[in-house]
Homo-oligomer: A and B are copies of this chain.
Amino acid sequence: MFESAELGHSIEKSVFDQEVPALREALLDAQYDLATARKFPVVILIAGVDGAGKSATVNTLNEWMDPRHILTVGFSEPSDEELERPHMWRFWRQLPPKGKMGIFDGSWYTWPILERAHGRIKDARLDQSLEQIRRFEQMLIDEGALVIKFWMHLSKQSQKKRLKKLEGDPLTRWRVTDRDWKHFAMYDTFREVAERTLRSTSTAEAPWIVVEAADPRYQKPTVGKIVLERLRARLDNPAPRPAVVHAPPPVSSIDGMNILKTLDLSRKLEKVEYEQELEKYQGRLNLLTRHKAFKDHNVVLVFEGADAAGKGGSIRRITQAIDARLCNITPIAAPTEEERAQPYLWRFWRHLPRRGRFAIFDRSWYGRVLVERVEGFCTEADWMRAYGEINDFEDQMARSGTIVAKFWLTISQEEQLRRFTERQESKFKRFKITEEDWRNREKWDAYEAAICDMLDRTSTEIAPWTLVESEDKYYGRIKILKTLCARIEEAL
């Protein structure tokens, strides 16, 4: 894997001086085309061994191109705000929007490689991390990003030489730390871990490019040329990505039976009983949020359901029981302009709560496989891959200590009609009913199919769906509160 990067590649100064100006001009041209088209973002990772000129390369790219269209991102210790979210949050928040380049000095690879090399995790855990990364990068690519990954390589001999040389020059001395020499002593271990990492994360669309780093005059134009080629190729062939469907679309069962139809919508609670239960579970929920152990967790709640199924009312019964300062409600409507320039899930990542807090989503990332699927707002390929991306997203939340609870509120078609009519007639609820609601209602069957697929594919152990019979609002609200309390108790 590293052999051809130990050949002693080098370039004469005269050749370098002659070729670089044209390369810079072409890079700038491509960069402006990217910014003008604003069709996709470019993610460039600069990884590699210590002393291999990673920062120098990042600086060179900034110098050769227009830095106003580049986001340069370096990662050191995570901040406390980052530590309280899933590991990938800090990367999501730094993704470049469409039309820009993000150059990452350090990346999602840094931590797994370091941890494995130092023996703090085993191969199995490393492989697990790499699998997560592969899926993350696949998502970026599916969302249209151009991902270019460089590994700067030095042979053991050259690394030693390079570190010594850097140390000798007062202008670069600061770059070499004790840590670098400690890492050098572990050269073989690092090489082994790096090889495993590169091998398993080189994919057709995001292959690793290993660059020999012994001679900067070879290294920098190599990186520049590859960036130019890949960027140019993408700009000049803006053909829509083939709508690759990774799996056949789901089929409905031949007997017409589905999980929604098995629900007993006649379940109900009398008002007196409801009020007793409400007090009981709201009290319990409140106590739970003040439990000592709750400080290490946070809660993400997803509310989905047919129009007029009672999402808003159910959410209010929860927020009544929680200190409002600990709770953030995000109603999901059309994405903003900044959100449209990012991968689909970005606008949900940005609302993940810190520890000890609740984030309630009134409609959610499941819009992709519900309304967007049914209304044709996205391609089949887009919503088909969304199931996997969503599971990954929720998995990452769960791993970081988040309690994820998802509620699907069900009502019958008849009950929906009754509520729609009631809303139209009430001055106070008039805002709640729109033309769109009536249109959605006509697509009841298509939605039912989409819902069943969603439940089948995304109800997981770590983030299960709770089906809520909401024909009777009292029954539905209590079921939700009860489930939520049980989920939190289980986690504490």
A-to-B contact residues, CB < 8 Å? 25, 28-29, 32, 36, 55, 58-59, 61-63, 66-74, 79-81, 103, 105, 171, 174, 283, 286, 290, 312, 315-316, 319-320, 323-331, 336-338, 362, 428, 431
Contacts and interface: CB of A to CB of B under 8 A. Distances in A.
Contact of A338 (B28, B329, B338): B338
Nearest to A72: B324
Interface centre among A66, A69, A283, A325 (most CB of B within 10 A): A325
A307 to B, nearest CB: 15
B338 A67 contact: no
Copies in the complex: 2
A205 B72 CA distance: 43
Given A336-B336, A338-B338, A71 B103 contact: no
A318 B79 CA distance: 27
A29 B32 CA distance: 48
Given A63-B319, A68-B331, A337-B336, A58 B431 contact: no
A465 to B, nearest CB: 21
A171 B286 contact: yes
A55 B428 contact: no
A31 to B, nearest CB: 10
B72 A327 contact: yes
Contacts of A105: 324-325
Given A171-B286, A320-B63, A362 B329 contact: no
Contact of A67 (B55, B68, B315, B323): B315
A103 B324 contact: yes
Contacts of A63: 316, 319-320
A69 B336 CA distance: 16
A181 to B, nearest CB: 19
Contact of A328 (B61, B71, B286): B71
Nearest to A341: B336
A100 to B, nearest CB: 10
Nearest to A327: B72
Q: Which 7 A-B pairs have the closest CB atoms?
A: A74-B325, A68-B331, A72-B324, A62-B324, A337-B337, A32-B431, A59-B324
B337 A62 contact: no
Contacts of A319: 62-63, 67
Given A72-B327, A79-B79, 6 more contacts: A58-B324, A62-B327, A72-B324, A72-B325, A79-B80, A337-B338
Contact of A290 (B174, B283, B328): B174
A61 to B, nearest CB: 8
A288 to B, nearest CB: 12
B338 A59 contact: no
Contacts of A32: 431
14 contacts: A25-B428, A55-B323, A55-B324, A62-B319, A62-B324, A63-B320, A66-B312, A67-B315, A68-B329, A68-B330, A68-B331, A81-B81, A105-B325, A171-B283
